Amino acid sequence: MGEFNFNYWLRMEPMKYADRDPSTLSPKLLMKRQEMIDNKNGEFIATEKHDGYWAMFIRGEGEEIAIRSRNKGKNSGEYGDFTGKLPHMVQEMYLWPSGTVVLGEVCWKEYGRNSSDITTILGCLDEKAVERQKEEKLHCYIFDMLCWQGENFVESGMGYYNRLKHVLLFMDKYSSDNFSATDVYYGPNYLDYSEKIVEKGGEGCVIYRCDYPYEPGKRSLAWKTLKLKASMPEMELLVEEALNPNKIYDGKELAGWPYWEIEEPVEIMLSNGDVIHETAVYLEKNPDDIMKQYGTPVTKPYFFGWKNGVRITHDGCNFTNVTSGLTDEEREWLASKEATELIKNHQLYARIKAMQEGQNGALRHPVFLGFKIMDKPERIEFDESI
């Protein structure tokens, strides 16, 4: 085993994966994108993209174990630590060879599960995270290996294809109810592969150049990686109703989140010495002390009584909920009397872009681009003598 520096991995900046909107690309770049999708010259390989949280699993020497996130806390400046929240995974990591580092997506094992409550597990205190996994534990799909028994694949520049082979060999021996290898596909058409994943409830796939090394902190701008998602042209669709917000906050980082709801009134002393008796608390600074003792983080629209999105009609009868892409101002306006009247009078339309149309006609992964107000339809007079 080579020399293994535990802190080197704890501090390593993650690599960024390219995610290009086809509508923004020139004809030349669209051709390059298509070459990746078609696996030109057999130079590319694809893996399934799961809906969850990126994590690095580090098995050092002796008792050294860590599971870290890709995001840094706003206040600490350190990468998030999932180790104490996933003891069922840690227990298995002690069986791994020393000097092993893998990347995986922490998520629900089965398709069709809503990932919004994963944040309430990985974002809260360790004890509560474990409690919230009593009925069902989170799973990890491993998609990359950066170190094996002290051999550093990052520094050696090993390509992704060979790193994947190490993942599959590793998982042949260490797969379990808690860890498995992500699905790997090598073929002529990655668009079909991505669409099949989406159809069964997944997110799509990531295409990699087979010889591409792992580059910490860099974004692969030279067409070495591509997140593949289908895309439909922009549409203007009738807004049927405004959607009430979810209550529980499901963002990636809880550190510094200021909107909290406490189930029963409690006495809380703020940093400035004020004492409040509240069930809803807004804090401008780090609420860690509140998090340790009381309540639940809630979404900003829920806290302020806004709406969170719109329900639109597609093809006249198929309904889709759209919550991604709205600004705070738009969410606040949706709760206004003006917006309510426009929706009631069938005058409010939403500009929408989506990945694709699902089997039931609903739009998959829609994104809100803006509102458009139509003139009030003229009343049609019918000739009662007919």
Sign of the torsion angle spanned by Cα atoms 339, 343, 345, 348: positive
* Confidence (pLDDT) at 120: 79
* Confidence (pLDDT) at 118: 82
Q: What mean pLDDT do residues 11-24 have?
A: 81
- CATH 2.40.50.140 spans which residues of the chain? 235-244+306-373
Tell me: pLDDT of 288 over 60.
no
Tell me: pLDDT of 209 over 70.
yes
Q: Is the pTM of this model over 0.75?
A: no
* Confidence (pLDDT) at 319: 81
Express each pLDDT in 55-107 by its tens digit. Answer: 999 999 999 999 999 988 767 788 999 999 999 999 999 999 999 999 999 99
Higher pLDDT: 106 or 118? It is 106
Tell me: pLDDT of 33 over 80.
yes
Domain 6-228 class in CATH = alpha beta
Domain 235-244+306-373 has CATH 2.40.50.140: yes
Cα–Cα distance, 380 to 377 (Å, whole number): 9
Higher pLDDT: 214 or 273? It is 214
- CATH 3.30.470.30 spans which residues of the chain? 6-228
Tell me: pLDDT of 289 over 90.
no
Secondary structure string (H, E, C) spanning 204-217: EEEEEECCCCCCCC
Tell me: pLDDT of 273 over 90.
no
What mean pLDDT is reported for the chain? 84
